[in-house]
């Protein structure tokens, strides 16, 4: 899968990918946020690959960086399941030909729906077949919908197919559903709709050193203040190292003001600062709470570690 950033402006999405002015090949294309990449997304991509084979087209997934809600409605934007780098990693296993990021900013948000179809999808990304989800809206103020896409497709010469919603256990599978389950600590149910255990890959940054003082050193992960997770303690698996216990929240015993994910890996010695850690969340153990003293906190952490290792 070749990943590239479509050059629409001089600003870059903070992901290290190739720049592209125009794709010369004809494509079967899908547009979406692909946040978290769940089994509904996989269903759409399988359909896209099947249609591409039938029409001898290259497969292309188009997504955005950052998430559009971060730009359009930052006050109501709650959380994001995947960073751009994680999204690339998740989609890389799907055998697509291309993945395209478009920087979503205030300027891009003003593009009219017809122009998005004609100038970007058709002329610059070679769209000859477009697969859209049941709730797809696009363009300035979400003015575009399936009938406009079909009308423009007939004019320019590309097909438009509407995919029906993918359901499991009576639920329409969506990123919104997965976010809600994770934010309620319901990891096992979220796993059903993700088709995998939920994980993140983030860089280890320097913390305040309190874990070392407590006897439970932690790796503090950067960019975790807006994870779609219930505040509390989790049993986790750290790729290449082993089982651990993680705390996500404000650390109320110490008066924390910012949410952060801290991971303690029992019996590990070494410096992880600056390294990327893949942390898989196995089970929600308990809610975060404020302890009356440090000794009480240490005893609880000890019990958390024992529980995590016993799973």
DSSP H helices, 56-195, are 68-72, 84-91, 113-115, 146-156, 175-183, 187-194
Residue 75's pLDDT is 81
Query: pLDDT tens-digit profile of 201-251?
Result: 999 998 766 665 666 888 999 999 999 999 999 999 999 999 999 999 987
Query: pLDDT tens-digit profile of 138-186?
Result: 999 999 999 999 999 999 999 999 999 999 999 999 999 999 999 999 9
Identify the CATH homologous superfamily for domain 197-310: Riboflavin kinase-like (2.40.30.30)
Compute and round to an integer the Cα radius of gyration of the chain.
22
Taking the mean position of all CA atoms in its chain, how far away is CA 200?
Answer: 9
Distances (CA, A) of 94 to 2, 144, 299: 12, 28, 45
Query: pLDDT tens-digit profile of 238-290?
Result: 999 999 999 999 876 666 678 999 999 998 888 898 999 999 999 999 998 88
Residue 131's pLDDT is 98
Taking the mean position of all CA atoms in its chain, how far away is CA 44?
Answer: 17
Common-topology check for domains 2-168 and 197-310: no
Share of the chain above pLDDT 70, in %: 95
Q: Does residue 280 contact residue 199 with C-beta atoms inside 8 Å? A: yes
Name every residue whose Cβ is closer than 8 Å to that of residue 79 and which is 6 or more positions away in sequence.
Answer: 179, 183, 226, 227, 228, 229
Residue 69's pLDDT is 86
Taking the mean position of all CA atoms in its chain, how far away is CA 48?
Answer: 20
Domain boundaries, the chain: 2-168, 197-310
Identify the CATH number of the domain defined by range 2-168: 3.40.50.620
Q: Does residue 282 contact residue 236 with C-beta atoms inside 8 Å? A: yes
């Amino acid at each position: 899968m070749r990943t590239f950033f479509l050059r629409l402006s001089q600003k870059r999405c903070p992901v290290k990918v190739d720049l592209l002015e125009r794709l010369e090949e004809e494509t079967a294309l899908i547009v979406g946020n692909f946040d978290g990449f769940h089994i509904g997304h996989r269903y759409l991509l399988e359909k896209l690959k099947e249609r591409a084979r039938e029409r001898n087209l290259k497969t292309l997934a188009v997504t955005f960086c950052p998430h559009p809600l971060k730009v359009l409605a930052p006050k109501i934007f709650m959380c994001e399941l995947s960073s751009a780098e994680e999204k690339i990693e998740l989609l890389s296993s799907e055998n697509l030909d291309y993945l395209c990021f478009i920087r979503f900013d205030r300027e891009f948000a003003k593009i009219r729906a017809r122009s998005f179809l004609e100038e970007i999808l058709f002329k610059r990304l070679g769209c000859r077949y477009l697969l859209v989800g049941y709730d797809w809206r696009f363009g300035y103020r979400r003015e575009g919908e399936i009938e406009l896409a079909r009308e423009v497709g007939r004019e320019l010469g590309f097909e438009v197919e509407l995919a029906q919603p993918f359901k499991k256990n009576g639920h329409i599978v969506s990123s919104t559903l997965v976010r809600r389950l994770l934010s309620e600590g319901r990891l096992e149910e979220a796993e059903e709709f993700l088709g995998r255990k939920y994980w993140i890959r983030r860089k280890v940054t320097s913390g305040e050193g309190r874990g070392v003082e407590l006897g439970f050193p932690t790796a503090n992960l950067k960019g975790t203040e807006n994870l779609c997770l219930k505040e509390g303690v989790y049993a986790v698996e750290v790729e290449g190292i082993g089982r651990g216990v993680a705390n996500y929240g404000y650390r109320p015993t110490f008066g924390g003001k910012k949410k952060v994910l801290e991971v303690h890996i029992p019996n590990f010695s070494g410096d992880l600062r600056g390294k990327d850690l893949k942390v898989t969340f196995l089970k929600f153990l308990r809610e975060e709470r404020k302890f009356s003293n440090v000794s009480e906190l240490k005893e609880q952490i000890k019990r958390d570690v024992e529980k995590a290792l016993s799973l």
